[in-house]
């Protein structure tokens, strides 16, 4: 039986650190790196992947879905995806991967997929293999690498964090519904054209009776009003101050001084993200 080793990159911190770890620890393992491109990613993601590719010294395969977001949006009656109906992940992230490995799996090749679940995260359901020849491995978890270790791996490799971490806590689509309110405000400021595009999608969805807006309980047109923006920013500052005060001081974890956006909102990182898109 022949074997392929594959490692999916999301453009986020954990999968990049896993790639660095595997490159450094198992330099001879012929790992194929891949990125499933929804076509709606931040420009910073492509920039980061370009730098990562240079570090790894191997090409990253870009897997494009055969049909784009607009196609699937129509298929789903113009209803926006949401945490409960995450058709976007299925159609734009998982299907391209399945298509990429399908013929090899069916012809008996063993595929080992390395997934970036950290040691400080609970095991995730939904990560089971969907084919007897597909094996899933969690090297960060197996080797006790937590969030601090991941940051350390990226810093010491010279890659650092993707630049969007300055204003947003996750990779994935510009309009991802997992974003917190403050991240929508920052998206409008940082990439106004992406915010406008999300507004157009939302307007069409609402006209077609979609029960979901991108952000909980308000449309982007409401969220972008100056008074509302001020409220969101003040609320975030209060949350941030509370989260910082709550955090126990740990000199051994000095490189983890920043409170992440989800932490400030009191949302567990695990429930506020998607393993495929945001790792």
Report the residue number whose CB is nearest to ligand SF4: 172
Q: Which residues 191-230 are close enough to bind ligand SF4 by CB under 6 A?
A: none
Residue 162 in contact with ligand SF4, rule: CB under 6 A: no
Among 6, 52, 145, 176, binds ligand SF4 (CB under 6 A): 176
Residue 187 in contact with ligand SF4, rule: CB under 6 A: no
Least Cβ distance, residue 257 to ligand SF4 (angstroms):
27
Quick check: 248 and 228 in contact, CB under 8 A? Answer: no
Distance of alpha carbon 36 from alpha carbon 83, whole angstroms = 19
Residue 277 in contact with ligand SF4, rule: CB under 6 A: yes
Q: Show the tokens assigned to 259.
A: 């409170």
Cβ-based nearer residue to ligand SF4, 31 or 176: 176
Beta bridge partners of 60: 33
Residue 154 in contact with ligand SF4, rule: CB under 6 A: no
Among 48, 178, 201, 214, binds ligand SF4 (CB under 6 A): 178
Quick check: 140 and 117 in contact, CB under 8 A? Answer: yes
End-to-end CA, the chain: 30
Distance of alpha carbon 136 from alpha carbon 162, whole angstroms = 26
116: which residues sit within 8 A by CB, 6+ positions away? 14, 15, 17, 18, 138, 140, 279
Cβ-based nearer residue to ligand SF4, 29 or 270: 270
Q: Which residues 81-140 are close enough to bind ligand SF4 by CB under 6 A?
A: 81, 86, 88-89, 92-93
Residue 275 in contact with ligand SF4, rule: CB under 6 A: no
Least Cβ distance, residue 179 to ligand SF4 (angstroms):
8
Q: Which residues 51-90 are close enough to bind ligand SF4 by CB under 6 A?
A: 81, 86, 88-89
Tokens 């494009």, residue?
A: 64
Which contiguous run of DSSP H or E holds residue 3?
strand 3-9
Q: Where are the alpha helices (DSSP H) in 57-125?
A: 69-75, 87-88, 95-106
Residue 151 in contact with ligand SF4, rule: CB under 6 A: no
Residue 12 in contact with ligand SF4, rule: CB under 6 A: no
Beta bridge partners of 7: 33, 114
Burial of 173 (0-12, 13-18, 19+ CB in 10 A): buried
Least Cβ distance, residue 167 to ligand SF4 (angstroms):
16
Cβ-based nearer residue to ligand SF4, 19 or 80: 80
Least Cβ distance, residue 40 to ligand SF4 (angstroms):
7
The residue count for binding ligand SF4 (CB under 6 A) is: 13
Cβ-based nearer residue to ligand SF4, 105 or 173: 173
Closest CA to 138 of 60, 90, 36, 129: 129
Residue 172 in contact with ligand SF4, rule: CB under 6 A: yes
Interacting residues with ligand SF4 (CB under 6 A): 38, 81, 86, 88-89, 92-93, 172-173, 176, 178, 274, 277
């Amino acid at each position: 039986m022949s074997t392929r080793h594959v490692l999916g990159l999301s453009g986020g911190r954990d999968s990049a650190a896993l790639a660095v770890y595997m490159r450094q620890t198992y330099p001879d393992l012929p790992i194929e790196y891949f990125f499933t491109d929804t076509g709606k990613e931040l420009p910073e993601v492509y920039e980061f992947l370009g730098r990562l590719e240079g570090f790894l010294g191997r090409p990253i395969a870009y897997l494009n879905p055969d049909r784009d977001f607009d196609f699937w949006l129509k298929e789903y009656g113009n209803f926006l995806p949401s945490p409960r109906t995450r058709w976007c992940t299925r159609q734009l992230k998982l299907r391209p991967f399945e298509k990429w490995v399908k013929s090899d799996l069916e012809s008996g090749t063993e595929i080992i997929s390395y997934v970036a679940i950290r040691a400080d995260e609970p095991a995730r359901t939904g990560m089971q293999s969907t084919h007897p020849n597909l094996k899933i491995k969690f090297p960060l978890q197996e080797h006790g690498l937590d969030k601090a270790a991941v940051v350390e791996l990226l810093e010491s490799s010279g890659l650092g964090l993707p630049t969007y971490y300055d204003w947003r806590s996750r990779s994935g689509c510009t309009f991802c519904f997992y974003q917190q309110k403050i991240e929508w405000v920052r998206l409008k400021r940082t990439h106004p054209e992406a915010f406008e595009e999300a507004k157009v999608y939302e307007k069409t969805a609402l006209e077609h009776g979609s029960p979901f807006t991108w952000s909980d309980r308000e449309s982007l047109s409401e969220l972008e009003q100056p008074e509302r923006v001020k409220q969101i920013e003040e609320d975030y500052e209060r949350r941030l101050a509370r989260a910082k005060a709550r955090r126990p001081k740990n000199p051994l974890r000095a490189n983890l001084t920043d409170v992440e956006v989800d932490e400030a909102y009191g949302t567990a990182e695990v429930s506020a993200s998607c393993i495929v898109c945001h790792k």
